[in-house]
Amino acid sequence: MAQPVGVTSGRLPFPDSIAAQVEYSDGSSGQVIYSSEGDSSHPKEAMTVYGAGIVAEVINFQSLDVYRGRKKTSEKSPSKGHREQMEAWVQYLRGDKPHPLPYEEARVSMLVTFAVLASIRRGASVDIDLLDPLKLH
């Protein structure tokens, strides 16, 4: 189920901010909040993942903190990965390496995006049929 946060306005009929609950067939779930609200001094991208006895936080794709066994480990990078992404793309185009984003992962990501938009339009939950992606229930 997804819903806009605030009023949908602007040139396109899509909201600038959304909240979505994504539920998977294995029983796991995820919450996505995409927001144009807030203060510019706050990190643009923040992700927290909770699992069995582990929590991982990614901030601006430059820092990773992992909490496990009552201990915290951290990794930092000066890059957000844009250069690395372009290098991987060039290596793929040259035939040196496989595509950096497998098709099935990109496909599922886009299907979730379309389902979120459909849920907002309908005001109801939307199921994704991976075998028939044009059919959103």
Q: Is the pLDDT score of 7 beyond 90?
A: no
Residue 74 tokens, joined: 């951290």
CA distance 83 to 46: 20
Q: Evaluate if pTM is beyond 0.75.
A: no
Question: What are the helix (H) ranges across 28-73?
Answer: none
Beta pairing, strands 18-23 & 54-59: unpaired
For 87-123, how does the pLDDT look when each residue is reduced to its tens digit (9 = 90+)?
Answer: 999 999 999 999 888 888 888 888 888 899 889 888 8
27, 19 in Cβ contact below 8 A?
no
pLDDT beyond 70 at 85: yes
